[in-house]
């Protein structure tokens, strides 16, 4: 802070300088200035955890900080939704993307990513979340998760179809086979095949 003030002073001469330290999470030991024999320098320390979130939502720029203000986790998520909607409604798209990216990134200090992702989905905003740095990261995570889920779902469907085929070959066509196959598909392969092989009739596998 002292070095920053000196650089500002060299550039702007005697122009008034107001300095602020913005504390994003609860930490101690943040001084409000420096005093020694050669230099006195003061600045204002603002702790977001002590701020009123409603006051931060009065302007799109400060709305980026709303999720970090004093609140419960559910309230912090609600503040992120409100901030995203305010930013989208009152800024041009390019600036909106910048502010929304800042809001999402700052929110990650206090909120888990799944909550951030859900909150951004809830927000009614024309600014694409994927155009923000954290939004792109969340999108890639979601796409990868969806890929794995789809792969697992595809494997399960294939197992059900194969089980139906085995049951029909063993017991003939029967209206109960789709439901029985779906239940058997949840079992490990070896157990499923042994049950089909050991059953004397289809009814033994029903339920």
> Residue 201 gets which letter from DSSP?
S
Sign, CA dihedral 6-12-13-15, equals: negative
Rg over CA atoms, the chain = 29
Specify whether 154 is located in the same domain as 126.
no
Quote the pLDDT of residue 201: 85
Specify whether 74 is located in the same domain as 5.
no
Burial of residue 137 (CB within 10 Å: 0-12, 13-18, 19+) is middle
Tens-digit pLDDT profile for residues 44-98: 999 998 999 999 999 999 999 999 998 888 899 999 999 988 988 888 888 888 8
The whole-angstrom separation of Cα 31 and Cα 85 is 35
Specify whether 22 is located in the same domain as 7.
yes
The answer to whether residue 172 scores a pLDDT higher than 80 is yes
Specify whether 11 is located in the same domain as 58.
no
Confidence of residue 144 (pLDDT cuts 50, 70, 90): low
Domain span including residue 108: 51-131
Tens-digit pLDDT profile for residues 84-122: 889 888 888 888 888 888 888 888 888 887 788 778 777
Mean pLDDT of the chain: 82
Specify whether 121 is located in the same domain as 186.
no
In a domain, 26, yes or no: yes
Specify whether 55 is located in the same domain as 35.
no
Quote the pLDDT of residue 19: 92
In a domain, 136, yes or no: no
Which whole number is the average pLDDT over 2-9? 90
Specify whether 23 is located in the same domain as 35.
yes
In a domain, 137, yes or no: no
Specify whether 122 is located in the same domain as 160.
no
Last-in-domain residue among 78, 102, 131: 131
Please state the domain count of the chain: 3
* pLDDT above 70 coverage of the chain, percent: 84
pTM for the whole structure:
0.55
Helix/strand/coil for 111: coil
Which whole number is the average pLDDT over 113-139? 65
The answer to whether residue 141 scores a pLDDT higher than 70 is no
């Amino acid at each position: 802070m002292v070095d920053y003030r000196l650089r500002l002073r060299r550039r702007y001469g005697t122009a008034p300088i107001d300095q602020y330290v913005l504390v994003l999470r609860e930490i101690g030991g943040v001084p409000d200035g420096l005093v020694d024999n050669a230099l006195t320098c003061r600045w204002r320390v603002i702790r977001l955890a002590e701020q009123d979130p409603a006051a931060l939502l009065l302007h799109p720029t400060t709305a980026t900080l709303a999720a970090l203000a004093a609140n419960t986790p559910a309230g912090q998520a609600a503040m992120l939704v409100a901030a995203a909607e305010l930013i989208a409604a009152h800024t041009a798209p390019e600036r909106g993307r910048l502010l929304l990216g800042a809001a999402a990134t700052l929110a990650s200090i206090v909120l888990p990513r799944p909550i951030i992702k859900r909150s951004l989905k809830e927000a009614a905003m024309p600014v694409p979340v994927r155009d923000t740095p954290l939004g792109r990261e969340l999108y890639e995570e979601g796409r990868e998760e969806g890929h794995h889920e789809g792969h697992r779902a595809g494997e399960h469907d294939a197992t059900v179809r194969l089980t139906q085929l085995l049951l029909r070959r063993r017991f003939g066509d029967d209206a109960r086979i789709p439901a029985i196959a779906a239940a058997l598909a949840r079992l490990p392969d070896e157990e499923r095949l042994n049950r089909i092989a050991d059953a004397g009739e289809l009814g033994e596998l029903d339920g």
